[in-house]
């Protein structure tokens, strides 16, 4: 409740929070657009594969030339993490291997790390969190992205004495979306390819949102951070509006659609026949609460919460999220409060690579949002040797794979790989 005050006091002391941004894409650009209006926050360095592109991004979001000249523009994320004028490193590349390397570079240099890179977090987040804690730094989810917002709502619910029945987000989903490729993604967003290109929108990244992969990654991240469960058969994306959250997202034993209590799930903003869901939550996040007693259940009704037919389950939701426009909350919280806005604790689930079509021996996988595979959320106990989507990039198949099959480590030529070793060690507990 006093984060802006703490930041303003830091500015008055002449000790603003100094951030380094690694990856000046859409998420990073949204963050950069807010920096000039936040007292007590500066960006010392921006690392991107193309520093010129990063400078162009700064101009596009309204930075003046003086502010641009005051920041260092680098190609190396590791170099940005090592700078003396940096307190917090923001990892926003979306590349899981790069994200792991950059997080470790930040931790080794005593910097706090804000992980926009959920792909890296669901692979080895617990190990990175432990390394940061041992070094006395903060490892944090990125506020504005759904996992951190959901983690906040889960924490609020538990701190208020409620049991969490379900938590998650909304999206637009149809089963056919699992097979969409970057070639035909823009039609589903109502955009022409040239419009998307002018806006700097990456088709493979946006396809990961459409084909279900990003939802799986985010739900597993929430499960890992909040101690919630991943559905046994993966996300089911039930069509559901905000008025029906408490009815649909409760255990089957009491009339709902979930395997049991304490589940993550993504709801769809469209019915299976394509009709829009009434009062959908496409852009928002939710938590379903179970009342601990009859008195609390009565209060649900008295204060207008949407409940199920029993009155014991009620929903709270946030209809929108502002993505990178809210990222400063994490940066300031890490530096000024030494507190994460959500942090992975354990491996509850993984995101398995599933073939989008029949694949041939020797074919190269292209990872999240691509042409070959999509990501399916799996409970860790059931995943076995499933190949994580974060490792299903740039590796060749050792055999033919039929469409719709979960890939395993034996299906690809992986070779010696410390990231694979670390993931498998975490997966085994």
Query: Tell me: the pLDDT tens digits for 295-339?
Result: 999 999 999 999 999 999 999 999 999 999 999 999 999 999 999
- List where CATH 3.90.1210.10 sits in the chain: 349-427
pLDDT of residue 197: 85
Distance CA 32, CA 403 (A): 41
CB 117 within 8 A of CB 145: no
In sequence order, which ranges of 272-345 are alpha helices (DSSP H)? Answer: 294-302, 328-332
Distance CA 285, CA 321 (A): 8
CB 373 within 8 A of CB 183: no
SS3 94: coil
Sequence-separated (6 or more) residues with CB below 8 Å from residue 169:
146, 150, 215, 218, 219, 266, 267, 281, 284, 285, 286
Give CA separation, 403 vs 4, 74, 179, 372, 373, in Å: 51, 42, 10, 10, 9
- Which CATH code fits 349-427? 3.90.1210.10
* Other CB atoms within 10 A of residue 211 CB: 28
- List where CATH 3.40.50.720 sits in the chain: 3-142+331-337
Q: Which of 148, 85, 80 is nearest to 114 (CA)?
A: 148
- φ, ψ for residue 227, nearest 5 deg: 65, 35
pLDDT of residue 1: 78
Q: Please, what CATH class does the domain formed by 3-142+331-337 belong to?
A: alpha beta
pTM of the model: 0.97
Residue that the structure tokens 């990178």 belong to: 324
Residues in the chain with pLDDT < 50? none
Query: Tell me: the pLDDT tens digits for 220-229?
Result: 999 999 999 9
Give CA separation, 417 vs 131, 201, 341, 408, 423, in Å: 19, 31, 31, 16, 10
Read off the tokens for 380: 């860790």
Sequence-separated (6 or more) residues with CB below 8 Å from residue 289:
157, 162, 163, 164, 165, 313, 314, 315, 316
Residue that the structure tokens 């894409």 belong to: 25
**Beta strands at 393-396 and 139-141: parallel, antiparallel or unpaired:** unpaired
Distance CA 62, CA 74 (A): 20
Please give the helix or strand (H or E) that residue 123 lies within, else none.
Answer: helix 118-135
CB 235 within 8 A of CB 211: no
């Amino acid at each position: 409740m006093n984060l802006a005050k703490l930041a303003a006091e830091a500015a008055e002391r002449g000790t603003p929070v100094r951030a380094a941004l690694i990856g000046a894409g859409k998420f990073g650009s949204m963050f950069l657009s807010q920096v000039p209006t936040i007292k007590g926050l500066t960006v010392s360095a921006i690392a991107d594969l193309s520093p010129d592109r990063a400078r162009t991004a700064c101009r596009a979001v309204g930075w003046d030339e003086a502010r641009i000249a005051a920041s260092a523009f680098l190609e190396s994320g590791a170099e940005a993490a090592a700078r003396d004028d940096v307190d917090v490193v923001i990892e926003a590349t979306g590349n899981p291997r790069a994200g792991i390397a950059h997080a470790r570079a930040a931790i080794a240099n005593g910097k706090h790390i804000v992980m926009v890179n959920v792909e890296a977090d669901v692979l080895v987040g617990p190990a990175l969190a432990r390394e940061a804690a041992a070094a006395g730094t903060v490892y944090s989810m990125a506020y504005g992205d759904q996992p951190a917002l959901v983690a906040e709502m889960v924490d609020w619910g538990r701190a208020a004495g409620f049991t969490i029945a379900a938590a998650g987000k909304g999206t637009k989903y149809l089963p056919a979306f699992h097979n969409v490729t970057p070639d035909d993604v823009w039609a589903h967003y109502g955009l022409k390819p040239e419009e998307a290109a002018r806006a700097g929108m990456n088709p493979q990244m946006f396809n990961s949102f459409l084909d279900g992969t990003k939802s799986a990654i985010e739900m597993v991240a929430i499960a890992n951070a909040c101690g919630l469960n991943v559905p046994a058969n993966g996300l089911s994306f039930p069509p559901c509006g905000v008025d029906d959250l408490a009815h649909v997202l409760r255990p089957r034993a009491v009339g709902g659609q979930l395997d049991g209590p304490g589940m993550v799930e993504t709801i769809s903003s469209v019915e299976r026949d394509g009709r829009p869901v009434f009062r959908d939550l496409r852009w928002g996040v939710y938590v379903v609460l179970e009342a601990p007693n009859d008195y609390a259940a009565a209060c649900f009704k008295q204060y207008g919460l949407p409940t199920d037919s029993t009155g014991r389950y009620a929903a709270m939701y946030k209809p929108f999220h502002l993505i990178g426009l809210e990222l400063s909350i994490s940066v300031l919280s890490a530096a000024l409060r030494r507190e994460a806005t959500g942090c992975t604790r354990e491996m509850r689930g993984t995101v398995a690579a599933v073939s989008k079509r029949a694949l041939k021996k020797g074919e190269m996988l292209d990872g999240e949002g691509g042409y070959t595979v999509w990501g399916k959320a799996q409970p860790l106990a059931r995943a076995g040797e499933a190949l994580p989507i974060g490792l299903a990039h740039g590796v060749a198949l050792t055999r033919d794979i039929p469409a719709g099959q979960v890939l395993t480590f034996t299906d690809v030529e992986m070779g010696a790989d410390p990231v694979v070793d670390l993931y498998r060690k975490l997966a085994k507990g």
